[in-house]
Structure 1
């Protein structure tokens, strides 16, 4: 059969940085760190450079078949991905000297309630980006954490209004008894103002140290524990109360959230490098507050 890409010369000479395919439909099997392998629908991108100016194109079918062969036969691990990268590069020997791959999918993880015995499923987006070239193999793991953020400034202003309401309701010249104050605190007047909070998201990308497995749950636990207010699944009244307490104990601007995650990841010896972007989707403003940090 004729092979136009191999036989025909390019219309003009030149090297190409990347050539390949993006948004390939595929299936991956992944252990998030709990010992259970899930089968997930994935989108895959694979690219090589073209270092031969006399060749019109690459062998895209070889890339596709190797992707399908490796992902069908093996669960996603760092050694498997590195082996796949070497096979992709070998398939384009003398045509390319570097390769990159991206894999994105969604992982279901069971999360326990804050107080009750219940639990529920959370979906976490996962991205894996790997490259292989003369400098070696590199891999980055990415995910997102959704959490609640209560504004410290709004909390201070709310406390001031509660103080003013207290001064209005209780005459400073008279003795105030414990029962009256306790009843007042439990009434609507005792919370005449409340701070604004919003659903927020932290996007995390980490480069793991050599030999470290793709433990998504360990990464999520570090980030969620550093923030203190990850969103919940199954919620009974005791869980909602515990969540309200967590929000009151973890007032944060977007800068605070980024620094909390930064401290947690800096302390992790199994993470070689990272990038963080937090976004607070303001309930006060029509725009979002954003902060970035890195190692």
Structure 2
């Protein structure tokens, strides 16, 4: 029998908020909004609280639990994963954070040509003896056309790539997933971006964006209007940034919102 050094007692009387593993790259299957499993590789952080009298956590158990859940992850099973970590390591609190590329098949707006669009997503699940929670975050690339540039120019208007980041905490027992947040983010912009566009699609996207100019402030407010009355959401944060095409800086807008009370911290 090999000695269990981590399980030895510690006499310094210092409890630790989090102990765990950080930056593990691991292949996973993540369900999309239609229940289809998508292959991806996640960067994984996993942690537990550590009582004052315990010397260390058994880090190998994090990977064992992750491997057991790797092919069945969605919002519900992510909570089960965190609870499994908490139970297996015998602690009061556990947290699992998965950051990964999330791919959805998109059709070009005119020709219907199919391609996959990539979105940066993070799924965080926390278990605390019944007080469990999930946090979803997605970063969505979009196109925006400047309303001011359009208004003052004889021809054209400057446009740029932007990113809408939405972080949302679902309400208890609510069915909310990355697809829902992506739809809100893309609808807030002048136009979505696509991996594949044929000439008729490019023409359509260019003109549609020109007909729908938005500032970063507009995009942030569009997101808030779409989400603040959604009963599936308890709290959310939106951060919009434009990589300005004619300025040597980026422009951004941000807002935190608690849906139940309407409280905000701009």
TM-score by length of 2: 0.89
For these two proteins, the number of residue pairs brought into alignment is 256
Structure 1 CA distance for aligned equivalents of residues 92 and 224 of structure 2: 35
Query: Within the alignment, does 1:260 sit opposite 2:259 as a pair?
Result: no
Query: Within the alignment, does 1:286 sit opposite 2:251 as a pair?
Result: no
Partner of 2:56: 57
Q: The residue matched to 2:132 in structure 1 has which SS?
A: strand
Query: Within the alignment, does 1:236 sit opposite 2:231 as a pair?
Result: no
Structure 2 CA distance for aligned equivalents of residues 60 and 233 of structure 1: 40
Structure 2 CA distance for aligned equivalents of residues 144 and 205 of structure 1: 9
Structure 2 CA distance for aligned equivalents of residues 105 and 27 of structure 1: 10
- Name the structure where helix makes up a greater proportion of residues: 1
Runs of 4+ residues over 6 Å off in structure 1: none
Report the Cα offset of residue 211 of structure 1.
Answer: 2.6
Correspondence 1:1-295 to 2 at 5 A = 1-7=2-8, 9=10, 12-51=12-51, 53-71=52-70, 74-93=71-90, 96-133=91-128, 136-158=131-153, 162=154, 191=155, 194-213=156-175, 215-295=177-257
Report the Cα offset of residue 79 of structure 1.
Answer: 2.6
Structure 1 CA distance for aligned equivalents of residues 31 and 96 of structure 2: 19
Larger Rg: 1
Q: The residue matched to 1:268 in structure 2 has which SS?
A: coil
Q: Structure 1 stretches of 5 or more lacking a match?
A: 163-190
Query: Which structure carries more relative contact order (alpha carbon 8 Å, separation 6+)?
Result: 1
Q: Tell me the C-alpha RMSD between the 2 structures.
A: 1.9
Partner of 1:187: none
| Maintained 8 Å contact 2:190/2:214 | no
Report the Cα offset of residue 8 of structure 1.
Answer: 6.1
Structure 2 CA distance for aligned equivalents of residues 267 and 13 of structure 1: 46
Report the Cα offset of residue 135 of structure 1.
Answer: 6.8
Q: Structure 2 stretches of 5 or more lacking a match?
A: 258-266
Report the Cα offset of residue 134 of structure 1.
Answer: 5.2
Report the Cα offset of residue 294 of structure 1.
Answer: 2.6
Structure 2 CA distance for aligned equivalents of residues 86 and 121 of structure 1: 33
- Name the structure where strand makes up a greater proportion of residues: 2
Name the CA shift for 1:229/1:291 in 2 (closer, same or farther; >3 Å). same
Question: Which has the higher mean CA deviation after the structures are superposed, 234-243 or 257-266?
Answer: 234-243
| Maintained 8 Å contact 2:140/2:164 | yes
| Maintained 8 Å contact 1:106/1:124 | yes
Q: The residue matched to 2:29 in structure 1 has which SS?
A: strand
- Give a deviation string over 1:102-152, Cα, whole Å, max 9, x none: 011112211111212312211112210111225701101111111111112
Structure 2 CA distance for aligned equivalents of residues 62 and 20 of structure 1: 10
